[in-house]
A and B are shown apart, each in its own frame.
Chain A
C-alpha cells in the first residue's frame, strides 16, 4: 500500500511501499505538485526502480520551472538505493537521523 498526503505546512507525506504497482498512482499525485516540493519520507518503507522513475520524472519537471524535489527523513535502505543509483546527486536528500 502507498499513501500520499499534502500536509498543512506544504510538505507531502509519503507512506508505505512505492513499487511498480503503486508507481502510477504516485506519479499522478506528484504530477499535480508545483514549485519546490518537500517529500516527507518518514513513512516510506520501500522504493524500487519504478519509484526512482517517478521521482526522476517529477524532479525533471519541477527543475524546468526552477523548482525542485527535496526528500527528508529517508531510511537507510532507501538511502542506499539513492546512493547506488547515483540519485543522491540528482535529488536533495536528508536522512532520518
Chain B
C-alpha cells in the first residue's frame, strides 16, 4: 500500500476548506493514490433521495436516483463495487461516456459513510492506468473513502453554517430597517391615550405601525407586508415613508391611499402586497376617517355598549392591483372611553400547542375586561393574555399592537370624614351619572360600595381628621371609582375575611358584612397604600353585565 500519498491526503483533508475545494482534493487524492485516470464524487441529496455528481474531472453536474445504477447500488448496499469490465456489466450506463467522449474500462465505486454512519455520497475512480483495480486498491480506497467522507461532511456542515449566518445577518438588517422607522415615543394627543409596539419574530416579517401628528389630525397606521426577510421590511418602510410624506404635505387620506396603492404596485413584485389600516383621527371632533386595505379585524370598543364591534377591510391590500379610484374613507366616531384596537395577524393567528388560534374573541374579552386601563396597560394585558395562551409555543410572526383610547370623563371631590357626608357622596355620584350618560343599572352597586368603603374609612381611619376624596371615571356601561384615604393606617379591604351568611339571627353580627357584600357586587376591587404619606387608595370597577 502506498502509505505516503495517503498520509499526505490526510493532512490536506484536515485543512478547513470549502466544499468545492474539498471535492477537488478528494478526487485528486483518489486518482493519485489509486493510479486512476479520472475520479468523481457523487454527493447524496437526502431531501431529493438523489446522488449528485458534483465535481468530476472533465464532466458536468449530473443527478441520478439514489438507488439506480452502480453508484446507486453502492450507496444502498454501502459496499465497494469493483467492476473490471464496465461494458460487460448490465448495471453500467454508457450514456455519460457518450456524452463526454470517454471510454470507461474499469471502475471502482466506494460508499462515503462518515463516522456517524451517515451516507455522505459515493466516490468513483475510473480506468486504472495499468490494468484493472485489484484487492489492494479496494483496501486502499476504503481507507481513503473513510477519511474523505468525514472531510466532506465537515465541509458541508461549514457551508450550511455560512448559509445560516448569511440569513441571520440579512434578518438582522431587515429588523433594523423595519424597527428604525417605528415611532420612538408616542405623541401627546389632547383627550386621547395612544400606545403602540411591535415585536418582530425571529424570521422577521414586515409589520409596522405609526402615530404621527399632521395638519389634518393624527395619522394612525398599522401595516403588514407579505413574506419574510429583507424585502417585506423594505416595502413596509417604503410605504411608511410615502404615507408620512403625503400626509405631511397635506394630502387627503383618500388621495394618499390611492397613490400609495398604485405606487407600491409598481415597485413590488407581482406576488407581494401590504395589508394596512390607514386612518386620520381629528381629536377635536373625534371622527376617525380610515381605509383598511385588507387589514382585519379592526376592533372598536364602545364604552356605551360595553363591547367590541368588529370591522372588516374596506378595500383590497395595497399594491395588489392598480386602482383608478378609491371609495371615500369610512368614518368612525370615538365616544368617551372608546378604544380603537389595531392588532396585526401575528397576534390573532398565534396558535397554541393545540393548533388553536388566539383569535379576536379573546382580544375583545381582554379589552372589555380592562376598559379602564390606559393604552399601554391594554397592550400589556393583551400580550400577557397571549403569552399565557401560547405557553411555550415560540412566536412565528411579527406582533404589532396599536391602541387609541379616548379619555373617559372624570371628576373628583373631597368629603368630610363623617357619616353625614353620605348624602353628598350620593348626590355627587348622581350628577356624574347624569352628566355622562352612565347606565342607571350601576347606581345601586356603586352607591352601596362607595358607602361601605367610605364608612369603613370613617370608622377605622385611626383618628385621621383629613377629608376623604372620591374620584369617578367612566362612560356609558362602566365606571371606575377611587376612594383616597389620607392619614390612615393600612387597611386592605380586599383581605377582609368573608362572613358566614348561613348563621341564624342570634349568631349574626353586622360587622364585616359590608365588605363581604361589595366583593360580590362589583367587578374588581384593588387596594394600594403609600406608607410615607399614610394614604390608602381603594379602587373598584363596575360594568353592566
Chain A residues proximal to chain B, CB less than 8 Å: 1, 17, 19-21, 23, 46, 48-50, 52-53, 56-57, 59-60, 63, 77, 81, 84-87, 89-90
**Is there an interface contact between B422 and A53, defined as CB atoms closer than 8 Å?**
no
Q: Write the chain B residue with the least CB distance to A91.
A: B505
A89–B510 CB distance below 8 A:
no
B115 at the binding interface (Cβ < 8 Å): no
Provide the main secondary structure of the chain B interface.
helix
Partner of A89, one of B422, B444, B499, B504: B504
By beta carbon, the residue of chain B nearest A69 is B505
- Report the interface size for chain B: residues with CB under 8 A from the other chain: 30
Q: Does B88 contact A (CB under 8 A)?
A: no
Given contacts A60-B505, A89-B502, contact A50 B455 (CB under 8 A): yes
CB of B283 within 8 Å of the partner chain:
no
Q: State the Cβ distance, B134 to closest chain A Cβ, in Å.
A: 100
Assess A90 versus B505: contact at CB under 8 Å? Given A21-B419, A85-B516. Answer: yes
CB distance from A45 to the nearest CB of B (A): 9
- List residues of chain B with CB within 8 A of the CB of A85: 499, 501, 513, 516-517
Alpha-carbon separation in the docked complex, A46 to B504 (Å): 24
Interface-centre pick from A17, A85, A89 (highest chain B CB count, 10 A): A85
Q: How far is the CB of B538 from chain A (nearest CB, A)?
A: 16
B 480-523 binary contact with A (CB < 8 Å = 1; else 0) = 00000000000000000001111111101010011011001100
Contact of A60 among B422, B447, B506, B521 (CB under 8 A): B506
Say whether A81 contacts B508, CB under 8 Å: no
B448 on the interface (CB 8 Å rule)?
A: yes
Residues of B participating in the A interface, judged by any CB pair closer than 8 Å: 419-423, 426, 444, 447-448, 451-452, 454-455, 458, 499-506, 508, 510, 513-514, 516-517, 520-521
* Chain B residues in 8 Å Cβ range of A20: 419, 422, 451, 454-455, 458
Cα–Cα distance between A17 and B506 once the two chains are bound (Å): 26
Knowing A17-B426, A20-B422, A81-B517, the reply to whether A49 touches B502 (Cβ < 8 A) is: no
Least distance between A36 CB and chain B CB atoms (Å): 14
Query: Once the chains bind, are B444 and A46 in contact (CB under 8 Å)?
Result: yes
A21 to chain B, nearest CB (A): 4
Task: Please pick, from A21, A56, A86, the residue contacting B422 in the complex, using a CB distance under 8 A.
Answer: A21
Residues on B with beta carbons closer than 8 Å to the beta carbon of A49: 452, 510, 513-514, 517
Note all chain A residues with C-beta closer than 8 A to B517.
Answer: 49, 81, 84-85
20 interchain pairs (CB within 8 A)? A1-B423, A17-B426, A19-B423, A19-B426, A20-B419, A20-B454, A20-B458, A48-B514, A49-B510, A52-B510, A59-B505, A63-B505, A63-B506, A84-B501, A84-B520, A85-B499, A85-B517, A86-B499, A89-B504, A90-B508
In whole Å, how far is A52's beta carbon from the nearest beta carbon of chain B?
6
